[in-house]
């Protein structure tokens, strides 16, 4: 869906994005698991309805003057799914086809992820419908600042804390922090996380998600009675999450036999030199043209003979079509929503342990939480402190989910949803319904 500019005089009009129906998507998969977990928990109907709907949905108009002098109006969203456990937390994405429905689903996803990670945050998500590849840096800054100004009563260190997501980065967060601070007439670093280090970002944030994947994998291997130095690992996706997961797992003794990116898969049963592959991607942007292994497709990569599979690229990679062919004993979801709900039962029947996204990739939001804590303390921890605290919280989250899955005799995926929903629902009941 591309933006369409009207030919009438005055500000350009950005066509609202359509709501996509009838297409399976990761959010529907997430909701299917939410429903199953709610059923197992025998969640009271009123509480179920409460937790299904976001508490706040804000749509703002963002008029800016483009570099060519024309005025163009963009649309921005912020959805707060809940603030039961604390201030809401969630990223902001810039995309030409983003819809309010998508933002709502992503906001609820954040609720469950924060609850699983034992972080005192609720869930939120924000977006601006724009195509950053067609905007200059000045235009992006204007959009970001006007979006923030319009959300001044929504964002806040005690109420709602954004972070980067698709097509937003450290620079975007710096503009949000500065705009919010100008309006509140004091520097408010804790209003947003994922900031550059020099203005209150946290050490360890860049590596955090991959580090969490590594910790989750090691904990799962212990439960399976496997030694890291005896296992082979395949990683799909070689960006932030995939490359760091591969690097850290290799450092723990695992043999990385397959990696991939958008250009395809690379298979080497003798083990891939991950650090060299990271350097190669730094220089060449992708793995294309490299000789790290035999060239295969991403589909073949997922079905390789290995012990651990880490999907760390994008959503909907494991479906009912290929789940039956997966040979790994353990899947650790670095990406959000890489497994469609239709594949859950097949993987369960095959006895494959799946560490779900809301647990496996929660390292990122955990270190975001540390950034917020450090901003509020005005005191910054060193990298050893960050890693120690991160690793402890990830292990505790893993144990909570593992115990819940055992208690309800179910999978780690449903265990994670049950643990999260139960915690949020019990807190809701204790706080009571105002009104
Ligand atoms: P990234 O853009 O840094 O890397 C994505 C990688 O996937 C790239 O190597 C790209 O080439 C590859 N890729 C894209 N399409 C592919 C395809 N069809 N097949 C195989 N590979 C493909 O992104 P990232 O930050 O590493 O995020 C990856 C996933 O992890 C996303 O689902 C994201 O939502 C999730 N995630 C990221 C973080 C984080 O902190 N970065 C936190 C939680 C979850």
Question: Is residue 217 located within the same domain as residue 333?
Answer: yes
Sign of the Cα torsion 326, 28, 212, 288 reads positive
Q: Give the Cα separation of 268 and 160 in Å (integer).
A: 45
Question: Is residue 307 located within the same domain as residue 167?
Answer: no
Cα distance from N-terminal residue to C-terminal residue, the chain: 42
Longest dimension (CA), the chain: 69
pLDDT in tens, 401-425: 999 999 999 999 999 999 999 999 9
Question: Is residue 194 located within the same domain as residue 213?
Answer: no
Test site for ligand 1: of 261, 359, 368, most ligand atoms within 8 A of the Cβ: 261
Domain's final residue, options 334, 360, 386: 360
Q: What residues form DSSP beta bridges with 295?
A: 266
Q: Is the CB of 245 under 6 A from ligand 1?
A: no
Residue 13: which pLDDT band, with cuts at 50, 70 and 90?
Answer: very low
| Ligand 1 center from residue 172 Cα (angstroms) | 19
CATH code (residue 195) = 3.40.50.10860
Gyration radius of the chain over CA positions: 22
Domain's final residue, options 340, 360, 380: 360
pLDDT at 28: 81
- The contacts of residue 167 (CB under 8 Å, 6+ apart) are 93, 94, 95, 132
Residue 368 in domain = no
Cβ atoms 259, 241 nearer than 8 A: no
Total structural domains in the chain? 2
Q: Give the Cα separation of 288 and 56 in Å (integer).
A: 44
Q: Is the CB of 334 under 6 A from ligand 1?
A: yes
Residue 269 in domain = yes
Test site for ligand 1: of 314, 360, 371, most ligand atoms within 8 A of the Cβ: 314
pLDDT at 23: 55
- Mapped onto helix, strand or coil, the DSSP state of residue 267 is strand
Q: Is the CB of 210 under 6 A from ligand 1?
A: no
Question: Is residue 141 located within the same domain as residue 285?
Answer: no
| Ligand 1 center from residue 312 Cα (angstroms) | 6
Cβ atoms 352, 326 nearer than 8 A: yes
Residues known to be catalytic: 125
> Which CA distances in Å does 248 have to 218, 311, 371, 398?
11, 15, 22, 18
Mean pLDDT of 17-34: 67
For tokens 């990696």, the residue is 259
User: Which of ligand 1's atoms lies nearest the C-alpha of 336?
Assistant: 32
Question: Is residue 95 located within the same domain as residue 128?
Answer: yes
Question: Is residue 230 located within the same domain as residue 184?
Answer: no
Q: Give the Cα separation of 235 and 231 in Å (integer).
A: 13
| Ligand 1 center from residue 339 Cα (angstroms) | 14
Mean pLDDT of 228-236: 98
Residue 42: which pLDDT band, with cuts at 50, 70 and 90?
Answer: very high
- Residue whose CA is closest, atom 2 of ligand 1? 239
Cβ atoms 63, 4 nearer than 8 A: no
Domain's final residue, options 179, 199, 219: 199
Residue 24: which pLDDT band, with cuts at 50, 70 and 90?
Answer: low
Q: Is the CB of 336 under 6 A from ligand 1?
A: yes
With residue 92 as reference, give the H or E element that holds it: strand 88-95
pLDDT at 2: 34
Q: Is the CB of 224 under 6 A from ligand 1?
A: no
| Ligand 1 center from residue 87 Cα (angstroms) | 27
Question: Is residue 107 located within the same domain as residue 163?
Answer: yes
> What is the percentage of the chain residues whose pLDDT exceeds 70?
94
pLDDT in tens, 340-363: 999 999 999 999 999 999 999 999
| Ligand 1 center from residue 99 Cα (angstroms) | 21
Residue 85, domain extent: 2-8+53-199
Residue 422 in domain = no
pLDDT in tens, 296-322: 999 999 999 999 999 999 999 999 999
- The contacts of residue 298 (CB under 8 Å, 6+ apart) are 236, 260, 264, 265, 313, 317
Residue 164 in domain = yes
């Amino acid at each position: 869906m591309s933006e369409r500019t009207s030919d009438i005089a005055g500000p350009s009009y950005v066509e609202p994005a359509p709501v996509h129906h009838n297409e399976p998507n990761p959010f529907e998969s997430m909701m299917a698991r939410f429903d199953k977990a709610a059923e197992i928990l025998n969640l009271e109907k009123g509480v179920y309805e409460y937790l299904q709907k976001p508490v706040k949905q804000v749509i703002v108009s963002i008029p800016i003057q483009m570099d060519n002098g024309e005025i163009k109006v963009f649309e921005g969203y912020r959805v707060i799914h809940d603030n039961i456990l604390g201030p809401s937390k969630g990223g902001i994405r810039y995309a030409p086809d983003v819809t309010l429905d998508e933002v709502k689903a992503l906001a609820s996803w954040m609720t469950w992820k924060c609850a699983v990670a034992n972080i005192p945050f609720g869930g939120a998500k924000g977006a601006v419908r724009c195509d950053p590849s067609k905007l200059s840096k000045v235009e992006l800054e204007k959009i970001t600042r006007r979006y923030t100004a319009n959300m001044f009563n929504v964002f806040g260190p005690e109420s709602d804390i954004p972070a980067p997501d698709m097509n937003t980065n450290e620079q975007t967060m710096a503009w949000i922090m500065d705009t919010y601070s100008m309006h509140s007439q004091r520097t408010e670093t804790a209003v947003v996380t994922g900031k550059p280090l020099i203005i209150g970002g946290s050490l360890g944030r860049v590596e955090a998600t991959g580090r969490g994947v590594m910790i989750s994998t090691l904990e799962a291997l212990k439960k399976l009675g496997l030694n890291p130095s005896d296992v082979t690992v395949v990683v799909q996706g070689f960006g932030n999450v995939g490359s760091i997961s591969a690097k850290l797992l290799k450092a723990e003794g695992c043999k990385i036999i397959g990696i991939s990116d958008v250009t395809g898969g690379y298979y080497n049963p003798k083990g891939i030199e991950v650090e060299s592959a990271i350097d190669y991607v730094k220089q060449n942007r992708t793995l294309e043209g490299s000789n790290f292994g035999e060239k295969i497709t991403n589909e073949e990569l997922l079905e390789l003979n290995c012990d651990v599979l880490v999907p760390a690229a994008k959503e909907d990679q494991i479906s009912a079509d290929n789940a039956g062919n997966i040979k790994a004993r353990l899947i650790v979801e670095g990406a959000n929503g890489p497994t469609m709900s239709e594949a859950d039962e097949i993987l369960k029947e095959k006895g494959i342990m799946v560490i779900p996204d809301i647990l496996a990739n929660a390292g990122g939001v955990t270190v975001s939480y540390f950034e917020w804590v450090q901003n509020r303390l005005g005191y910054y921890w060193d990298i050893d402190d960050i890693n120690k605290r991160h690793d402890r919280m990830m292990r505790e989250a893993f144990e909570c989910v593992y115990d819940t899955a055992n208690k309800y005799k179910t999978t780690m995926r449903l265990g994670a949803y049950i643990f999260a929903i139960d915690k949020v629902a019990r807190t809701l009941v204790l706080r009571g319904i105002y009104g």
